[in-house]
Amino acid sequence: MARPGPSPRRCTAPTSCATLVLLLEGPRLSICAVWTIYQNRVAYAPLTPSYYLANQPGGDLEPAWQLVVVLNAYGGEALVQLQERYKKLAWYASERPCTLPYVLLDEQLGLSDVAYLDLRGGGGLLYTATQCCDGCAGPRRVLIKFTGRRYAEQVHRAWHRAGVAPELHDVVKVAGRAMVVMEHLDPDQGWKRLSDFPLPQRTAALKAAVQQALTMAHAVDVGEGRVAVHGDCRGPNIMVREERDGGAFDVRFIDFDWAGVTEVDAYPMVLLAPEIPWHPGVGPGRVLHQAHDTHLVEREWEWGQERGREWRSQLTGGA
């Protein structure tokens, strides 16, 4: 039994998540300390001897009194101090794990300055890095994403040629999954997710730019005269950058995990988040249609307004 630790639903300030553990092994009881190292390794150390709980030969009560003193310190002092410590912790974003996926250490990839990228609201296992490779004009900033078995490489490359997706450098199979290396749309260069735009900034011009980019993407030939569907055209998968003179926007679509040829390929067999306003025709194993993308982009504005009204209602107590 472990007591106490930070709530699993709470994102706390950088901490080792120290916890006390009552360890019962047969008739023996001891108290141990457990904590994390870089939040992905567990360390353990005994704090007390192992006390024998059965009757002592000859009626010796000394071990029992020692255990009473230890349990009193555990319940009356140590737990209180830990609870007070956790109450004072602030919220923070997760730190980068201390270890990296082994494939990122491959010298042939030419990666340096590898850093874990934490995106609140999801994003999967993402890393940013600087890459130097044969044939590269010079060092380039890349985003590395580890995703499922399927990645629509052909669609991604075709949409990039049309100017509506970042450049795709490589897709490498790793242990039955895919490691995707692509151009990094850096926030320092003005890029941000459409979902990160506050409501006042979701102008008609921005909406028109996103819709125009999607229309261009849907017209791109991905091979043999066929066109494609993105499949997951939500705000987090649409990157936008406002041009310096204002009024115009660059738009790029990312994350082609579900993309495929329209009316040919199908959605993966996964459960869909019920809070997302999917097109009625979307579902696990169902056929992709371009109308599904158009629907999600349109709903991104309506859904954003609904979320804004809910937020304002919470602030005003429903007034």
- What integer pLDDT is reported at residue 66 of this predicted model? 86
Locate 197 and state its tokens.
Answer: 């735009």
Q: Is 95 inside any structural domain? A: no
Provide mean pLDDT across the span 65-84: 83
Residue 14 above 60 pLDDT?
no
- What integer pLDDT is reported at residue 149 of this predicted model? 79
Candidate from 46-60, 163-177, 216-230, 291-305 with smallest mean pLDDT: 46-60
Q: Which amino acid is at 250?
A: D
Q: Which of 24, 55, 87 is the C-terminal boundary of a domain?
A: 87
Q: Do 140 and 180 lie in a common domain?
A: yes
CB 17 within 8 A of CB 5: yes
Average pLDDT, the chain: 83
Q: Which of 35, 52, 87 is the C-terminal boundary of a domain?
A: 87
Q: Is 156 inside any structural domain? A: yes
Residue 315 above 80 pLDDT?
no
- What integer pLDDT is reported at residue 121 of this predicted model? 53
CB 94 within 8 A of CB 118: yes
Q: Do 174 and 259 lie in a common domain?
A: yes
Provide mean pLDDT across the span 190-218: 91
Q: Do 301 and 187 lie in a common domain?
A: yes
Q: Is 157 inside any structural domain? A: yes
Provide mean pLDDT across the span 281-305: 90
Q: Is 96 inside any structural domain? A: no
DSSP E strand stretches across the chain: 2-3, 19-25, 28-37, 41-46, 51-52, 111-116, 125-131, 140-147, 168-174, 177-183, 192-193, 228-229, 238-242, 249-253, 260-261
State the virtual CA torsion across 179, 182, 186, 187 in degrees, nearest 10. -60
Q: Do 81 and 106 lie in a common domain?
A: no
Query: What span, in angstroms and rounded, lies between the C-alpha atoms of 89 and 16?
Result: 12
Query: What span, in angstroms and rounded, lies between the C-alpha atoms of 232 and 219?
Result: 17
Long-range contacts, stretch 292-298, CB < 8 angstroms, 24+ apart: 292/229, 292/231, 292/233, 293/214, 293/218, 293/229, 293/230, 293/231, 293/233, 294/214, 296/232, 296/233, 296/234, 297/210, 297/211, 297/214, 297/233, 297/238
Residue 10 above 50 pLDDT?
no
Q: Is 94 inside any structural domain? A: no
Percent of the chain with pLDDT over 90: 42
Residue 1 above 60 pLDDT?
no
Domain count, the chain: 2
Q: Is 176 inside any structural domain? A: yes
- What integer pLDDT is reported at residue 3 of this predicted model? 47
Q: Do 108 and 200 lie in a common domain?
A: yes
Q: Which of 64, 87, 110 is the C-terminal boundary of a domain?
A: 87
pLDDT digits (tens, 9 = 90+) for 35-69: 877 656 788 898 888 888 887 777 777 878 888 88
pTM, two decimal places: 0.66
CB 97 within 8 A of CB 125: no
Q: Do 83 and 193 lie in a common domain?
A: no
- What integer pLDDT is reported at residue 176 of this predicted model? 82
pLDDT digits (tens, 9 = 90+) for 234-287: 999 999 998 877 678 999 999 999 999 999 999 999 888 888 999 999 999 999
Q: Which 8-state DSSP code applies to residue 266? A: B
Nearest by Cα to 204 from 247, 140, 154: 247
Q: Is 251 inside any structural domain? A: yes
- What integer pLDDT is reported at residue 305 of this predicted model? 54
Provide mean pLDDT across the span 222-240: 95
Q: Do 47 and 174 lie in a common domain?
A: no
Question: Which band of pLDDT confidence, cut at 50, 70 and 90, is reported for residue 99?
Answer: low
The enclosing domain of 232 has a CATH number of: 1.10.510.10
Query: What span, in angstroms and rounded, lies between the C-alpha atoms of 42 and 133?
Result: 37
Give the structural domain span for 220: 102-315
Q: Is 191 exposed, middle or buried, given 0-12, 13-18 or 19+ CB atoms closer than 10 A?
A: middle
